[in-house]
Each structure stands twice: as C-alpha cells, then as structure tokens.
A and B are shown apart, each in its own frame.
Chain A
Amino acid sequence: MKEIILQTKSITKHFYEPVEFKVLDDISFDVYKGEFLTVIGKSGCGKSTLLYILSTMDTEFEGELFIDNQNVSRWKQDKLATIRNEKIGFVFQFHYLLAEFSCLKNVMIPALRLGKLPYDVIEEKAYQKLELLGLKDQALKPSSKLSGGQQQRVAIARALINDPLIIMGDEPTGNLDSVNTQNIFSIFKELTQEFGQTIIAVTHDNDFAKASDRTIEMQDGKIINQDYKFN
C-alpha cells in the first residue's frame, strides 16, 4: 500500500504579464512516500512553475495542493513558511545561497530557524551533509567564493539539513559534472530507499530521469504522461 505524500487537484495557473497566458492547465497527480519522481519536458512547458507551486513558494494558482494530507492551497504566508522549514527542502536552479555567510552557516540556517536541536548538534549535522557532498574542506569558506557547481552542492546540503519529507530540485544537477551528478543521484536514491524521503526533481537530463522511479512528462502546461517510459 503506497502512502500519498503530495497530491495536486486541477492546478491551473495564468501569467498576466505581458499578456494573459495559461502556463499550467489542470495538473493533477499524486506523489508517493519514498518515491523518486522526475519531471521532464521542453523548456517553457511550465515544469519549474509547477515545482514552485508544489514547494508553496507560489500561491497564485487555482486548484488544490495537499502536502502530507493537509490542504495547503489557501494557507497564509507564515504557515507556509513553517511547512517549508520543516517538511520541504528546495534546491534552486541557480544555487541561491546567502553570499555573506560561510557554506557551513548556509547549511545550518534552516535548522537554526527550526530550532529543534542544540547549536553544536546542528553544526555537526551540517558537517556531515557537506561531507556527504564532498565539500567538508570548503565548509568555512564564504559561499560566494565557491564555484557554481560547489555552490549547487551546498544548496543541496542545505535542502537536506532538516531531514524534510520532500526534497524538491529545479535542475538540481544542472551545473554539475558527471561524477558529481552520479554522486547526487546515489544520495537521492539512498534517501528515498533507506529513509523514506521523497524526491521531486525537474530535469533536462534524460539519464538522470531514466534512473528515477517514475517520470512525468509535461508539454504546454499539461501532463501528457504520468509514467513516461524511456526506451
């Protein structure tokens, strides 16, 4: 019996600038606990926009969004911030680290905000995550001094720090070489299989998608295949 962790019901979204444009059209699908899901589609098909809605960072849409059996569609900003803090880890397409802080601090900040563990435990945990991503030696450097690929891996470490139910990635391996991509992939695989965490990743990388549990294909704001089979 598969447990649903995230569910969408008829999500539709319009852009009004510069002209009205339906970017998402009646999106309905379920994501199961412990599933490694990828979303593919041509650029401009609305997959990043969809991911922002799933991550609760975009609240301007029609339809219903359920996360962990709660309908969060009409929640207030502050309540959504709490759910993002506790249950969702997000990896942006372009790293988005806080430039004034060290890598270690960047990783620690979501956990410090959550405040469920003492400072030294969080610090230890952040070191572990950075080590996992092969960045332990960069931990104390200012995040702005790192290369793009390194920054992206710090952002992944940050997404993992609170052991979220769902990890979402917008091209999480977009800036990475094949060795690191492979590394991330195996980390994600392990998280889903051993810790029951769920991964939703938007990607262009067919090899990456092919190795995931399930792939959704989108086109022009619609899901055209709930379980895309590579051949």
Chain B
Amino acid sequence: MAFKKHPINTEVAYTYIVSNKRLTMVAALGVTLGIAVFIFMNSMLAGFDKSSSEAFFKSIPHIRIYKDDEISKPFANQTGNNIPVIINPKVVPANNTIINPKQVIQLLKNQPDVAFVTPQLTVGIFYNNAKTQISGRAIGILPEEANQMFNMESYVVEGSVNNLKNNINGILLGAGVASKMNVKEGDNISITSSIGMTKVMKVIGVFQTNNSVVDKTTAYINIAFAQQLLKKNASYITDINVNIKDYTKAKAYAVNLAQLTNYKAEDWETANETYMAATKMRAIIIRFVSISILLVAGFGIYNILNMTVMQKINDIAILKAIGFNGFDVVSIFVSQALIIGLIGIVFGVLFASIMVASLQSYYVGGDIGYFPIYFKLSNFIKGVAFGFGVTFLAGFIPARKAANVDPVSIFRK
C-alpha cells in the first residue's frame, strides 16, 4: 500500500470524546476525584506515619549498647545432698563502664548497616534551688553528634544545642525544670551529682519534648562534664547509641551487635513494647484505610467509565455490522477510556498536589509544627498507575463483552 491507512479507530474514539463533552467532563471529573483522594489520603497516612516515628526517635536510639549489671555467682554450687550451701547473690559492684569505648565505637562505625554512633553518659543529679532540690538526670552527650542523631534542635525552644559545644559547663534544661527553677537562657544553676559533686552550670538553652516526665527531669550536658560530675576519666562511658539504616530491622541487628561488642545491645522495639503494639496497630489501620480508598475510588472510576461505554452499546453493534472486528471495537473504547483517564489523572495529580501543598503549610503547633504530610513520589506513581489500570479495565471489560456477541443480539435488546 503506497498510502497510510487512515486511523479510523482513533478518529471514532476522538469523535466520541469531543461530541459528548459533558459526559467526557463528568467521567474525567470522576477520575480526578478518585485519583486526588487516593493520592491525598495516602500522602496524609505516610506523613502521619513518618511524623510519629520521627517524634519517637527524638529521644530514643534504634539500638542502645550498655553494660548490664551482673549478678555475683556463688563460688560453690549445691553439690550432693548433705551439705547445704548458703548463697546470697548480689549485683557485682564493678562499675558499668564500657571498656575502651573509642575502639568499640570505631568497631560499630565500621559495620555496614550502621548509620550513626554516639556515646552517652547519664548522671543522676539534683537541681538546687535555695533549700529545695529537684531530682533529675543529666545526660552527657557530644552535642554535635547527638543533635544529628536525635534532631535535638527541632525541640529546643530557647537557645541552641550548639551553645553546649562552646560552653564546657553549659546545660540544656527541660522546660519543666527551667520553669520550676525559675531560670532562662543565660542564667546560672547549681546542680549536685549522685556522688555529691556540686557544680554551677550556665543555662544555654531550654528544650521541650511535650513528654512532661522528660521535660521536668532531664538536662543535657557535655559528656566530658558528666564524667567530671562522676569523678571519672575521659574514657568513662556507660551507653553507646546506635542508629542503623533501617530502624525496622533493629531487633535482628541488635543480636549481631551484642555478639560483636560483648555488651548488651537493646533494640528500640524491645525497650518499648507498648509503643510497638501501638505502631503495629497504626500500620494495620493505615493499610486498611488505604485499601478502602483504593476500592471506593476504583469502583467510582470504573462505574462512570463503564457508563460511557454502555451508552454506546448500540454504536458498537453498528460498527460491528459494517465490518469492525473485536479488536477494533476494544481499541476504540479502550482509547476513549484512556484519554478520559489521562485528562482525569492530570487534573487529579494537580488537585492532589494543591491539597498536599496547602495542608503542608498549615501550622498545627506543639512539637508537630506544620501538618505532617509529604510529597512522596511513590504515592503519586501509585496513584497514576492505579488510575490508568482502572480506566483501562473500565474501557476494556464492557467493550470486550460487546465485541464478542452477534450485532443482532444487541439490536434485539
């Protein structure tokens, strides 16, 4: 053939779309709403999930490595049956320092799945205010590293974590402590450690986690200062905090780290079982809500597109009568559905983006800040793929059915 065959199937599909503008628009609107709701709800669920885990890991590492207390072992065991052996096991009074922490930290840093490692030393202290003392704890940290790990700056409400680095005797106070002690940034505060050392510290900032127990008791200080408060040398470290690349694998990974270091390695799931149960429940709820949206939106799109094909059932019979075969009929209605789908999807993505963007800039307050919703590419890809899938089926299934019957059986109805 010396000429190009006229694409009659495409022309028929195009004519149907253009000559029934109202129906096209209603159908495209159906797709738009389905896609927009699908993407928006999934973005919201993803945001909710992300913000919850972020809030959680603000104070808790994925894996904590420390030396567990040891119980003394009896020198003699109960042997035979005549001589009773009196034993009285006690916690061994050895200190619970990690020996040669620099080497252990280096060893941990060399592990492939470990993302971040930082030492920590917790000291029991009293905050002194004239005659009254408030008990609490000071957590010795390396300010820069700890800030990276826990994103501390995000919940510091006065001053800055970095000030800690420049002031060896600086202290970052919980908001509850600060208000009870009636101090603010720049003031001095006196603390006494569990072994009786009293020091005057400079308040370099105040943080607020909205966990009132933490806010009323905790302060962050330099790790070197914590060692001084305990009258220990610079290698005295009780905890090493480890973050790994995928926090969901912490449980399995903790076992490896325990074997590697010979210390106790406790993963965040084991340390927070109640929270874990809540997280699991949340994951299940999110999955079910997501599936429900998929079903509802999918059914809506399918119905409205199905209608556009069923309205043309008589035309299908005519086209078949004048010689269009099954493939032609299917391709006409599938292209019609896909073009409507494409229009709907473009507007759906646009609509979803606007909704996500506008909610993203909504300030909720508290430690949440802006509404937790994110542009997650995978959600948009899923939404588009889902939209095309459903529109394809909505065009294909009824057209396929109509394409396979005698034209007369349609006319007779």
| A residues whose Cβ falls under 8 Å from a Cβ of B | 52, 55, 57-60, 77-78, 81-82, 84-86, 90, 92, 96-101, 109-110, 112-116, 118-119, 122, 158
**Contact yes or no, A85 B6, CB < 8 A:** no
Q: Give the docked Cα–Cα distance between A30 and B407 (Å).
A: 25
CB neighbours of B324 from chain A (8 A): 81, 85, 113
Contact with A78, one of B1, B12, B326 (Cβ below 8 angstroms):
B326
| Chain A CB within 8 A of B403 CB | yes
B403 CB to nearest A CB, Å? 7
* Residue B168 interfacial (CB < 8 Å): no
Give complex CA distance A112, B332 in Å.
14
Residues of B within 8 A of A112 (CB): 6, 8, 11
With a cutoff of 8 Å between Cβ atoms, the chain B residues found around residue A55 in the complex are 321
Residue of B nearest to A120 (CB): B3
**With A81-B325, A113-B328, A115-B5 given, can you name 5 additional A-B contacts, CB distance below 8 Å?**
A98-B318, A98-B319, A109-B12, A114-B323, A115-B6
B408 touches A (CB below 8 Å): yes
Residues B6 and A119 in contact, CB atoms below 8 Å apart: yes
Specify the chain B residue showing the minimal Cβ separation from A52: B408
Is there contact, CB below 8 Å, between A82 and B323?
yes
Which of B5, B16, B321 is A100 in contact with, Cβ under 8 Å? B16
B325 touches A78 (CB 8 A): yes
Interface centre among B11, B320, B323, B326 (most CB of A within 10 A): B323
Within the assembled complex, what's the spacing in Å between the Cα atoms of A78 and B59?
69
Q: Closest residue of chain A to B18, judged by CB?
A: A100
B313-342, CB < 8 A from A: 314-315, 318-328
Q: Indicate if the CB atoms of A101 and B15 lie closer than 8 Å.
A: yes
Interface residues of B in 9-25 (CB under 8 A from A): 11-12, 15-16, 19-20
Q: How far is the CA of A27 from the CA of B404 in the complex (A)?
A: 26
**In the docked arrangement, what's the CA distance between A59 and B408, Å?**
9
Q: Which chain B residues border A57 with CB–CB below 8 Å?
A: 320-321, 406-408
Q: Which residue of B lies closest to A86 (CB)?
A: B323
**Distance between B297 CB and nearest chain A CB, rounded to angstroms:** 29
Contact call A78/B327, Cβ cutoff below 8 A: yes
A90–B203 CA distance with the chains assembled, in angstroms: 96
Chain B residues with Cβ below 8 Å from A86 are 323
B315:A84 contact, CB within 8 angstroms = no
How far, in angstroms, from A86 to B20 measured CA to CA in the complex? Answer: 30
Does B20 contact A100, Cβ atoms closer than 8 Å? yes
Give A60's nearest chain B residue, CB to CB. B406
Please judge, given known A-B contacts A57-B406, A57-B407, A57-B408, whether A84 and B321 are in contact too, CB under 8 Å. Answer: yes
For the complex formed, measure the closest distance between the CB of B35 and the CB atoms of chain A, giving whole angstroms: 27
Q: A82 touching B322 by the CB < 8 A rule?
A: no
Tell me if B325 and A118 are in contact (CB < 8 A). no
Separation of A86 and B323 alpha carbons in the complex (Å): 8
- B residues 265-292 in Cβ contact with A at 8 Å: none
CA distance A55 to B323 in the complex (A): 11
Cα–Cα, bound, A114→B325 (Å) = 11
The answer to whether A59 touches B406 (Cβ under 8 A) is: yes
* Interface core residue of B12, B15, B322 (most chain A CB under 10 Å): B322
CA A58 to CA B3, docked complex, whole Å: 35
Q: Which of B3, B16, B409 contacts A118 (CB 8 A)?
A: B3
A4 CB to closest chain B CB, in angstroms?
23
Contact pick for A96, options B5, B321, B325, CB 8 Å:
B321
- Contact call B322/A100, Cβ cutoff below 8 A: no
Q: What 9 A-B pairs are tightest by C-beta distance, nearest first?
A: A85-B323, A81-B325, A112-B8, A78-B325, A115-B5, A100-B19, A118-B3, A58-B408, A57-B407
A82 — which chain B residues lie within 8 A by C-beta?
Answer: 323, 325
Measured CB to CB, the closest approach of chain A to B360, in angstroms, equals 44
Contact residues of B between 134 and 182, Cβ < 8 Å to A: none
In the bound complex, CA of A55 to CA of B406 (Å): 11
CA–CA, A184 to B184, complex, Å?
103
Task: State the CA gap A114–B409 with chains docked (Å).
Answer: 24
The minimal Cβ–Cβ distance linking B310 to chain A, given in whole angstroms, is: 16
Q: Which of B8, B326, B404 has the most CB of A within 10 A?
A: B8
- A102 — nearest CB in chain B belongs to which residue? B15
* Complex: A180 Cα to B319 Cα, angstroms: 26
Contact B323 A113 (CB under 8 A): yes
Please give the distance in Å from B64's CB to the nearest CB on chain A. Answer: 69
- Whole-angstrom distance between the Cβ of B205 and the nearest chain A Cβ: 72
A148 to B408, CA, bound (A): 21
Provide the bound-state CA to CA distance between A98 and B5, in Å: 21
CB neighbours (8 Å) of A52 from chain B are 408
7 cross-chain CB contacts under 8 A: A57-B320, A81-B320, A82-B325, A84-B322, A101-B15, A110-B322, A119-B6
- Complex Cα gap A94–B20 (Å): 23
Nearest Cβ on chain A to B22's Cβ, whole angstroms: 13
